[in-house]
Structure 1
């Protein structure tokens, strides 16, 4: 019997055929008599898919599983799910259909990877602004749906395994939000921002925040005429306000928060260098200020389109920075129980961090008040008391370590 060939004269193997429209088909029959077909646009692609079938059989995966979507498995999960309260079941359905169905549900189950699930959870945090308790509920449904795929031999492992645990580590959500960064955390953040790459352009504005204690509206409203690099001072005389008006984002220039907020803030060399870096970056990227707000223009800190920034943009950037810095730390350290991670932070955290560094250095309380622009010294004293309480705990820890080294601690203590 002559070998069958395609239109190009290539010999076709058993089960292969070229269809009238020029595409290719491979047919085979299972031992139980069930017939299957796969299709491809060309012969090379068809044979690649045949090889994948062999691999799938070896791995114990079901034939045809590459066509099943996540949403199809979700519908099966709805039929199978029993033994929970109706309101809980309704909540699970809402979570999946509201957040997963359109974003991830169309994906074929075989194409959903671990990285896809983790990126999806990051999207829920950063773009949808969901808290972890909500994502936990979404994860419960998604993990169960994917587990059906594992149990029915569509996939070998559940790509959502440990995804929620990793999310919590990356965003440090199990830790109480602190108002100020510890010294080692501040150093970790600065080192991460100093690396060439995705976040390098964020370094100047966050450096100025960390080393001046200016409020976010004071920082984003700074113009080049408000700073004097030769004298090394910043003139704070207005603030940039960002708000929503009839559903539209709007900016306005306002007077400082209080009369004391109108002030002159000295620059450290780190701040001067940050301003110089901004100038160099704008010249290199040919960025010019396109914002005119209530007659004010020539703002210092701009996005790539030459427009002013706002606290929402900056806080979202910080979320991404914390996420990727912590991911890098976890990848470098196998023992993640002792790894240094950044806590959840916002722009206002930098003001508290700068205040803490001033108090730690024993700066006079009146000078701290003037630099921060506090109208009431009681506000400064409250922060001072909070920081010094933390310092006392730290210093006692140093004393205890010293006494242990001198063997002055009572032995055989039964208490931790």
Structure 2
């Protein structure tokens, strides 16, 4: 490689600049280059996720939302070669001052997008590999006390009695049972709403429920039952305390007959309940 300058030092600086550019790959199989804007990488990254089809559609949509709302406003108009460790480190730290959760989510998607640029030989290294770790202040989870749980139960019972009902459909009695199942299993709300008749065993000496699905709601799509919980490894069988088993028995008694694939909790039309509405 050659470079010229008005002085020896200028020529040396020009040569080093050329060598630095040479280290940044110019791949032939992608439209991206180190001079491409970050927003072009985002589009390329999302297309690659869709092509691989390895993660759930829900997770993919969350990634896109976090990228568009948290990262893109600060990075979209930067060339990829301009995105270094210092810039990424400062961005994550500033975001962490506002919200640890937002900083964590932004860190994930920024790393994944830049990692793809490295794999496809657009960038020589991922600056996110050297960004400082996030630190979170230790905190003690707030657990409900028995009196607080009873206050919640009483409030639900009052509401389900429809004593002050004014208009619209009256409460159908599901909410109290849903709460009892959540309390007795520590399951996520989506997992509870996905329980089918075949997942319930209340005839054994130790009643149990198999948590093997979750409810998924996406924009523009009908709510549906996914055949595994949040992760495939989350499928589990949980023994039921007496108060939960009793709530499940009362719920089943109201159906009279419920098919094996029938949902324990469902709308008046027999469709899955949405977690937001519950």
Query: What TM-score range do you get, normalising by the shorter chain?
Result: 0.3 to 0.5
Q: Taking structure 2 as the reference length, what is the TM-score of the superposition?
A: 0.40
